[in-house]
Every structure is written in structure tokens, then in C-alpha cells.
Structure 1
């Protein structure tokens, strides 16, 4: 049974929201769990690497599964698993338990990512205009709300376990309520192979996202450090750049669809890369508090639309199924998210942190170059 596009869109948006809420709930309690397990900063960094390990292990499996059983079934199962793994993270008492649970959390996270974006591509096909970025905007909005709930829980001295149980219950209820309104693609009509080698257009899309994700990953991990060491911000302002980046990234996703509908995918990606490069160069050349904040705001606006636009384009591939196409592009782009922060650390050690941020600006320029040459 098919429902009105707005109802299906609302159901898919709710799934994006729950995905963002689960991830941000975990992120908001990392410090609590670190203290509970008496982990040093270096030890925590090593343990947290288990999360991307789980993500990478999930990429080929999720691409195959979404093609075989459909994105609705995978999304429901993966979101429930996401909530359950979140609970286990709140109940760990040993470091090895945390590592194992983080691998499982990463597996569920990427399965949700591929399935929910496949649902979003199907929903977008019901409209005559782009709507993909708005879904990612909902994910970002959930991130803010999840962080707020986490702050409240910490303030009330509520342990991570009951906090995560509450989030998991809400997640399961949302899946049950939204299930009937999601796209039923158990028998995909697309004949593309789940394991076909990505064609040139998909590889190009992956590389565009790869460059943008280097920028995004570096901003997540290095923005506070940049404001501390280069901008010399006071303690209360050290997170100002990160906050500015997150705000414009979230807001940008709610306006990117209209921009793409008016100016096209290629122009949207070109503008996105340009904003990222200019914003980073402003922060490097003028490392004062107001100008650095302004620069980080431009970076947030720049990276906001790249991944949703690339996923949208990948989902329309004629050589692979939507789920497999998104998985292929996600694999390439996620490598950028992984290597970005350590590359910045290496360049900072070899040269300076400002030079390292020039490298990130170069990645923004590569988004422009690749988008200009791509046939999209």
C-alpha cells in the first residue's frame, strides 16, 4: 500500500532523526564513560578507533544486504540494533567490553546510514525537486537535541545506562510507528549487482565526498584545538568555532535543496567547495576570534550539502542498485573522514597547525575541481 509522499517523507525523516539521536546520545556521554573506565586521553583515542573499524566492516555487508532484503527491512533491523548496542555501551565495565560494543555500534551505524539514505533516494523520486539535504538537516537537528538531553542527564547525575535505555525505547517505538509508511522495497526492481565495480561517475562522486569529508572530519577533531593554539581563544570561547561550524552545517542542509533545485547539482557542489576553501583560508590568514568564527561558519555551510547531494546522485545510478551505489560512494568518502584528522596531526607536527589547515582548504578546492569536471 502506498501513502501520500508527505507521509512517507515524514516517516523517513523520523528515521534520520532517530539515527542522529542515537549517535549524539553516545557522543554526549563519552567523557562519563571515560571517567568510569579510568581511561587516559590516549587510551580513549585508541579505544574509539573501534567505532570506525565497525563502520568499515559494515560497508560491503550493508551494500549486499540492502540489495537482497530491501532498505526497509535493513533499516528497521539496524535501528533496533543501534539502540540495543547503545544500551550495551552504557553498561560496560571493562575496556575490552567497550571495544567490542563500539565495533557493534559502528556496524549498526553504517547499516542505518546506507538503508536510510536508500529510503531517502526513493522518497526523493516522489518529488519534482531535491529533498535529500533536508533529511540530513534533520539528522543534524537530532544531534543538537541529543547533546541537550545528554547535558540534562549529566546535570541530574543520571548514569549512561538508563539514559541509553530511554533513547533505545524511543527508537524502537519510532521504528514500529513508522514501519508501515516506509518504502517497501523487499524486491528491488533494479537489476544492478550489489558487488559491481563502481563506474567512473560513482568514483568521481565518491572522490568529491572524500575531499569534503576530510574537511568535515578535521573540523570535528581539530576545531577546538585550532581555537586554543592558533586563535588563542579564552577557555569559554575555545568551542566557538566548532559550534559555529555545526550551526551553519545544520542550517545549510535545510536550504541546500532549494539551491540545488534552482542552480543544479554541479553548481551546488562548486559553491560548497568554494565556501569551504574560502572559510578555511580566512581562519588561517586572519586567526583572530571574530574572523576565525566567520571562517568556520563558511566551512560549515560548505560541507553541509556535499554528502547529501552526492548520495542523491549516487542513488540514481543506472549501473548499480541504489543501496549498492550509496554503499560504494560511502566507502570512498568515509576513508576521507577517517584519514583527515590523523593527516592534520601529521602535518601539524611536521609544519604547523595553520599549514595543516591550508591542506584542508586545498581539499575544498578539489571539491570544486572534481565537480566542474564531473558529468553530473
Structure 2
């Protein structure tokens, strides 16, 4: 074979179906996971008041959530290599659903810390498993689906957050989580028989992990990390930026993230079609350029309206960068998908979990305007490494080619 790695073609999907049972199943898992995380947001004040947490203590609890995710993600990756993504997806989902009930039942700080560690850990483990299953579905379909899967996660988060407060008011905190767990269980039971069953590769873990796990997954992980840092920065700091530096009212200060989230969700649903048409490398480069333009525009905006346009453009760009990085991480030649994905997802999510606190420290000594203007430097690195996205187009490896 004289195929050059740098010339990997985009997926050919002219004869493959647009929707399959396996695609529906993994999309349901993404929606389920997103819905629980979205429903957790309106529960945080009740969690804090029940345990008597100060703001500092609550910050430490959220940090424990992130630590749990980063600890459990590599564990999930190794288990996927040994058992296959379907089995790990099933187990992690079944363990994940009760954790939202567990964090509601705790009544001491130490039990709260244990509960939120498990909640974060199983969130991360399920995330790796369902992304690995999505990679396998991409391989089988020879069609990109990762962006739409992440769009379903965003849609689930929107549903969970939008209904959480209303349901808590109507049913109480415990009634809300019991209903949420019941809905998640029903969704899981619908998805389980349709989940793609993939073959584990324990022999590859022993024979190849030591020799193949070189710089490549870490470089792709760097792409994911530098793609998720801007997302976390917009999530945690955009409202404060609009209010404190651009004079927005409390009512309008959340519009920046709303604009960002809207364009990101829309573009994630369209992202698979774009990637199939133009290939992962060109799609990633376009996204990185759009994100750079949007963030610089937002950072240099002289008023709220211009900043919201900038954040909306940034949402267009950032929307499909992480899905492409995850697909590439799950398709590294000679490396089991779970192992590569665990490296990429762990590095990526560390950006959204821990970078915003560092951003806050920097902003105290400069300004959020300066932060949003400087953050695009990370995306320049993504552009430099964008050729690594070619691995996202190799989803038919092992399928007879």
C-alpha cells in the first residue's frame, strides 16, 4: 500500500444509511449524560445549603468533581480495550444514573465529597465509553456522527437545565432527582439493545500500548485541551465580562453564553455533513480560524452587541473542534480506541475543568478583555497541529481496507 497518511480522504458515505439503530442508541447515551449534567446545575445551591458549604468549600467540591473525572477516564479507557465499548458503556451508565440521587441524599461534608467524586468519576468514565462507541459506529457506518452526538449532549444539557428549576419547585429536590433517574433508566433501556457490540482487543493493549502510545495521542489531546479551554472560559466568565467591563445589565449578561451555545449546538448538528464533505483537517482549520476571529472580536468589543456577535462566531468555530479531536483520538493507527480516547478526553476535559480558575487569576491582574483577546493564541497551536485531524477520517480502519 502506497497510501500517504497525510492524504487521508474524508469519509465516503454515499451508500451508507444516515440513521441506524446503533447511531440512535449512542445518541441517546449522549443525551442522557448531558441531561443529568444540565439538571445538576440548578441543584448546586441545594447541595451547598444542605452541607452548609461556603463559596470556598463549594469550589473545592467542584474541584473534587473534576478530579474524579480525570481519575476515572483512563480507567475506563483500559477497560474498553479489554471488554469493548458496549460493555463499558452499559456498566458506566448504570452506575452513573444513581449518582445524581446519591449527591442529593448526603448530609455531611465528607459524604458529599465522596458522592461528588463518584459523580464526577462516573460522568467521565461514561463519557469515554460513549465516545468510544461513537467511534466504532463511525467505523461501521463510514460516516461522521461525532459532532451530532455532541450536539445531542448539548441538547440534553439544555433540557436538564431548563426543566430542573421548574421540577424542583414542583416536586422538591428529591422528587426531581427520582424522576430524572427514572427517565434516564427508561432511556438506557431503550438504547441498550441497539448499542453497537464491538470486539475487545486485550492483546493489543499488551502488545501495542507500550510501543504505540507515543507522542501522537498526547498531541491530539493537546488539540482537545486547547479547544476546550476557550469553551470553559466563555462558560464561566462571559457573563461577568459583559456585566463588569461592557456595562451589561444582569438580565442581558447571560446572552453571551446563550449566543455561543446556540451557534455551537446548531453547528454540531451540521458538523458531520461538513466533515464528510470537506474532511476533518480542512473542517478543523476552518473552525479554528472562526474561533480566533470570534474571540478576538468579543475581547475587543466596545459594546454588548458586538461582543455577542463575537461569541456567536466563536461558537461556530469551537463547535466541531472537540468532536474531531475525539474521533482522531479513537482512530490512532495500532492503538485500541479506548486507550487513545482516554488520553485525549482526559487532556481535553482538564481544560474545561481547571483552566477557568487559572483564567480568573489572570483576569484579576489584567482584564477579561485581555483574556479573550489572548486565548486565541491557543487556537493558533491547534492550527499548527491541525494535520493530525486526518486520523478522524480513518473511521473505516479494520473494516476490510
Class of the TM-score when normalised by the shorter of the 2 chains: over 0.9
| Equivalent of 1:227 in 239, 242, 249 | 242
Instruction: Establish whether residue 331 from structure 1 lines up as the match of residue 352 from structure 2.
Output: no
For structure 1, list consecutive stretches of 5 or more residues without a partner in the other structure.
Answer: none
1:130 partner SS: coil
For structure 2, list consecutive stretches of 5 or more residues without a partner in the other structure.
Answer: 1-16, 392-401
Would you say the 8 A contact 2:223–2:382 is kept in 1? Answer: yes
Q: Given the superposition, is the C-alpha separation of residues 324 and 166 from structure 1 closer, same or farther in structure 2, using an over 3 Å criterion?
A: same
Distance 2:195 2:18 in 1: 11
CA RMSD for the aligned pairs?
2.1
Q: Given the superposition, is the C-alpha separation of residues 188 and 281 from structure 1 closer, same or farther in structure 2, using an over 3 Å criterion?
A: same
TM-score, structure 2 normalization: 0.87
| Equivalent of 1:154 in 154, 157, 168 | 168
Distance 1:80 1:14 in 2: 14
- Equivalent in the alignment of 1:356: 371
Would you say the 8 A contact 1:215–1:360 is kept in 2? Answer: yes
- Equivalent in the alignment of 1:172: 185
TM-score, structure 1 normalization: 0.93
Q: Post-superposition shift, 1:94?
A: 2.0
Instruction: Establish whether residue 56 from structure 1 lines up as the match of residue 70 from structure 2.
Output: yes
Distance 1:171 1:374 in 2: 33
| Equivalent of 1:135 in 139, 146, 149 | 149
Mapping of residues 39-188 of structure 1, within 5 Å: 39-156=53-170, 158-185=171-198, 187-188=200-201
2:107 partner SS: coil
- Equivalent in the alignment of 2:28: 14
- Equivalent in the alignment of 2:399: none
Q: Given the superposition, is the C-alpha separation of residues 106 and 355 from structure 1 closer, same or farther in structure 2, using an over 3 Å criterion?
A: same
Q: Post-superposition shift, 1:286?
A: 1.3
- The Cα offsets for residues 231-279 of structure 1, whole Å up to 9 and x where unpaired, read as 2101100111111111111111101111111111111111111121111
Q: Post-superposition shift, 1:138?
A: 0.6
Q: Post-superposition shift, 1:373?
A: 7.3
Distance 2:194 2:387 in 1: 38
Q: Given the superposition, is the C-alpha separation of residues 12 and 202 from structure 1 closer, same or farther in structure 2, using an over 3 Å criterion?
A: same
2:246 partner SS: coil
Q: Given the superposition, is the C-alpha separation of residues 204 and 328 from structure 1 closer, same or farther in structure 2, using an over 3 Å criterion?
A: same
- Equivalent in the alignment of 1:32: 46
Q: Post-superposition shift, 1:192?
A: 4.5
Deviates more, 1:335-344 or 1:86-95: 335-344
Would you say the 8 A contact 1:276–1:302 is kept in 2? Answer: yes
1:29 partner SS: helix
2:68 partner SS: helix
- The Cα offsets for residues 35-78 of structure 1, whole Å up to 9 and x where unpaired, read as 33333322211221110010111022111111112211211111
Instruction: Establish whether residue 266 from structure 1 lines up as the match of residue 273 from structure 2.
Output: no
- The Cα offsets for residues 185-212 of structure 1, whole Å up to 9 and x where unpaired, read as 2544883458546333322211111101
Distance 2:190 2:275 in 1: 32
Would you say the 8 A contact 1:192–1:318 is kept in 2? Answer: no
Would you say the 8 A contact 1:201–1:374 is kept in 2? Answer: no
Distance 2:165 2:263 in 1: 21
Q: Post-superposition shift, 1:127?
A: 2.3
Q: Given the superposition, is the C-alpha separation of residues 92 and 373 from structure 1 closer, same or farther in structure 2, using an over 3 Å criterion?
A: closer
Distance 1:373 1:96 in 2: 43
- Equivalent in the alignment of 2:5: none
- The Cα offsets for residues 330-362 of structure 1, whole Å up to 9 and x where unpaired, read as 122223223321221121122222212222122
Q: Given the superposition, is the C-alpha separation of residues 374 and 263 from structure 1 closer, same or farther in structure 2, using an over 3 Å criterion?
A: closer
2:98 partner SS: helix
- Equivalent in the alignment of 2:8: none
| Equivalent of 2:358 in 317, 325, 343 | 343
Would you say the 8 A contact 1:37–1:95 is kept in 2? Answer: yes
Would you say the 8 A contact 1:223–1:242 is kept in 2? Answer: yes
Deviates more, 1:3-12 or 1:301-310: 3-12
Q: Post-superposition shift, 1:80?
A: 1.4
Distance 1:7 1:364 in 2: 36
Q: Given the superposition, is the C-alpha separation of residues 195 and 99 from structure 1 closer, same or farther in structure 2, using an over 3 Å criterion?
A: farther
